[in-house]
Structures are given as structure tokens and as C-alpha cells.
């Protein structure tokens, strides 16, 4: 006789799902948000533009609702990066600032329009942030997390420009500091073909 494992609401994965579901219930708004806010948490970015590599996640009707994020991220209090999760570290405007940085990166590019982006975000107790982010990435496999990575990178600083340019900066050139980095091993065409293969393996609708 087969037995069904009992549902445990406190199981790590179930807790992560509850955080992810709470984010997905939030309204989608502009990037960056119109009003500055306090708090740390998780967020998802959505794209409705005409860049060919991302066509599978763009609603068929441009006025339609985007359902698959192009990127999922987190913003944690500065002290949490040093092992302080769950200690109620004051977050300040860390998530708003992160979203504003993302908007600036997009505005620097030569082939993306900030008007084609939107976001939803959820302020979360810091101990649940990594779990919620991981579950969302697992659920949606956002292309800027899984394949075209580098969107969330920062200027590495003087003396550190020997590292390779990210795939994101190859497809979306424009960030001044990224142009100082070494060429990536893959060309723009190779990355676009990789994106086509990526979509064939990942359901988007």
C-alpha cells in the first residue's frame, strides 16, 4: 500500500513557495518604482519590448500582462551579507536602490528601452529572502539569471578589468565600465543562438 507523505507547512520548500506566491500576488509597476520605499526583499523584472532574443516571454498583445520574469533578484541589508540574516538589521531603502540601479543599467544600453520594463517586489524579513529568490529562479528560469547573466554586476574597479565581459554586456552594450573589460569568449550571434536553444527547453507560456 502506497503512503502519501504528510504536508508540512514548515518544510523549507513550502515556506519558500509561500514567499514566492506572495510576491506573485503583488501588482506590477514601473521600473524603478515611482515612490522611494524602505525595506529589503525579493523582486522580479518583466520585459515587453521587441528585442528578438526575448520574444518568447513578451505577451502577444503588448498591452497584455507579462507572466514570465526576465530577471529575479534580491536585496538584503548590508549587514546580512556578513551572516546577519534574521537579526533585524535595518534595511534602509536597499531594495528601492537596487531597482534604481537596474533601471540605470538598462538606460545605459543601446538596444533596450526602460519603458519596456516593469517590476513587482515584496518586502520580506531578511531570513526568508534567499529562499524566496531561489524558489522563483527555480520556478521561472529567468533568462537573465540562467543564461544571459551579468545584469546585476557592478563596476569591479580600477585594476580589476582583466576579467571577461558578461554575456549581458555583450548583448546589451553601453555600460561604460563594462567596455573596459576583456571580450567575452562568445559573440553576440552565439549568445542569441544560445537563447533560442534555451527557450526550446524552457516553457514560457
Pairwise CA distance, residues 75 & 89, whole Å? 13
Which residues are bridge partners to 121 per DSSP?
43
Q: How distant, in Å, are the alpha carbons of 86, 87, 116, 125, 175 from that of 150? A: 28, 30, 19, 26, 12
Q: Which of the four pLDDT bands, split at 50, 70 and 90, describes residue 126?
A: confident
Least trusted range by pLDDT, from 36-45, 59-68, 140-149, 153-162: 59-68
Q: What is the pLDDT of residues 52-64, one digit of tens each?
A: 999 999 987 656 6
State the pLDDT at residue 43: 97
State the pLDDT at residue 53: 95
Helix (H) or strand (E) holding 30: strand 29-30
Residue 162: partners with Cβ closer than 8 Å, 6 or more residues away: 182
Q: Which of the four pLDDT bands, split at 50, 70 and 90, describes residue 160?
A: confident
Q: What is the pLDDT of residues 132-144, one digit of tens each?
A: 899 899 999 999 9
Question: Which residue, 158, 157, 159, 187, is CA-closest to 173?
Answer: 187
Mean pLDDT computed over every residue of the chain? 87
Residue 11 has pLDDT above 90, yes or no: no
How large is the greatest C-alpha to C-alpha distance in the chain, in angstroms?
65
Whether the CB-CB separation of 73 and 95 falls below 8 Å is answered with no
State the pLDDT at residue 204: 61
State the pLDDT at residue 199: 93
pLDDT (average), residues 95-114: 97
% of the chain exceeding 70 in pLDDT: 83
% of the chain exceeding 90 in pLDDT: 65
Q: How distant, in Å, are the alpha carbons of 48, 77, 86 from that of 103? A: 15, 20, 29
State the pLDDT at residue 82: 52
State the pLDDT at residue 77: 84
Helical residues (DSSP H) of 43-115, grouped into ranges: 94-108
Q: What is the pLDDT of residues 20-30, one digit of tens each?
A: 889 999 999 99
Is 78 or 9 the better-scoring residue by pLDDT?
78
Domain-by-domain residue ranges, the chain? 13-154
Q: Using only the alpha carbons of the chain, give its radius of gyration.
A: 18
Give the SS3 label for residue 153.
coil
Amino acid at each position: 500500500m502506497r503512503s502519501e507523505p504528510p504536508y508540512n507547512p514548515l518544510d523549507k520548500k513550502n515556506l519558500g513557495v509561500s514567499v514566492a506566491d506572495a510576491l506573485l500576488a503583488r501588482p506590477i509597476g514601473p521600473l524603478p518604482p515611482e515612490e522611494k520605499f524602505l525595506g529589503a526583499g525579493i523582486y522580479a523584472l518583466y520585459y515587453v519590448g521587441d528585442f528578438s532574443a526575448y520574444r518568447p516571454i513578451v505577451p502577444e498583445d503588448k498591452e497584455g500582462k507579462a507572466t514570465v520574469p526576465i530577471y529575479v533578484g534580491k536585496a538584503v541589508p548590508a549587514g546580512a551579507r556578513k551572516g546577519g540574516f534574521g537579526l533585524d538589521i535595518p534595511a534602509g531603502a536597499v531594495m528601492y536602490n537596487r531597482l534604481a540601479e537596474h533601471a540605470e543599467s538598462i538606460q545605459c544600453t543601446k538596444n533596450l528601452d526602460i519603458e519596456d520594463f516593469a517590476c513587482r517586489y515584496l518586502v520580506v524579513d531578511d531570513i526568508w529572502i534567499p529562499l524566496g529568490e531561489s524558489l522563483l529562479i527555480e520556478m521561472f528560469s529567468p533568462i537573465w539569471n540562467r543564461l544571459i547573466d551579468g545584469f546585476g554586476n557592478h563596476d569591479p574597479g580600477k585594476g580589476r578589468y582583466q576579467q571577461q565581459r558578461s554575456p549581458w554586456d555583450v548583448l546589451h552594450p553601453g555600460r561604460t565600465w563594462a567596455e573596459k573589460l576583456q571580450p567575452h569568449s562568445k559573440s553576440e550571434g552565439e549568445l542569441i543562438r544560445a537563447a533560442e536553444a534555451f527557450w526550446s527547453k524552457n516553457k514560457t507560456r
